[in-house]
Amino acid sequence: MFKKWVVILALLTSLPSLAFKEGDTLTDAASAGLSLDPNKLTIVDFFAEWCVSCRHELPEVNSLYQTLDGTGVTVVGVDEEVEVGLAFQKELGLEFPVVNDPQQSLVNEFKPVGMPALYYIYQGQILKVRFGAINNISQVITEDLAEMGVEL
């Protein structure tokens, strides 16, 4: 019986390690699902309509997206719903491209630990990952980009 619990505990504690993390290379399925431009640093933002933090952060991310035009950096959102998601995206006036993922194929590839989740990706490599609510997200993203050598 003890051995059974040890195995279950080991499996449960290893689940977060299955998620993409800094330094990982994207799978072909993840890259294709996002239609990434390998010559652009892409901030992939996983969000959902039910996520209160997402509702607060997305307008800031949208404003930042507008200032990123021509910088070699872009934003792509991933939402897990279609009908509800499209209404949510419209309500917030999102202008950045969003991949609607009703089968959760991208969610299953990335396995974000929570929402919202940000992945900074360049040439198929994950440079940085952030999970959960972030105050002043546009400032945090700008600082993250500066650490990566991108000045806005």
The answer to whether residues 43 and 37 touch, using CB atoms and an 8 Å cutoff, is no
The amino acid at residue 30 is A
Report helix, strand or coil for 71: coil
Q: pLDDT per residue over 75-113, tens digit each?
A: 999 998 888 889 999 999 999 999 999 899 999 999 998
CB of 101 closer than 8 Å to CB of 79 = yes
Element (H, E) at 33: helix 28-34
**Amino acid at the residue 24:** D
Q: Is the pTM of this model over 0.75?
A: yes
Q: What domain range includes position 134?
A: 24-146
Given a contact cutoff of 8 angstroms between Cβ atoms, the answer to whether 143 and 58 are in contact is no
**Length of the chain as a residue count:** 152
Residue 18 lies in a domain: no
Q: How many domains does the chain have?
A: 1
Residue 57 pLDDT greater than 70, yes or no: yes
Domain of 61, CATH number, reads: 3.40.30.10
- Residue pair 129/119 in contact by the 8 Å Cβ criterion: yes
- 151 pLDDT band, cuts 50/70/90, is confident
Tell me if 19 is assigned to some domain.
no
- On whether residue 13 sits in a domain, the answer given is no
Residue 151 falls inside a structural domain: no
Question: How confident is the model at residue 34, as a pLDDT?
Answer: 93
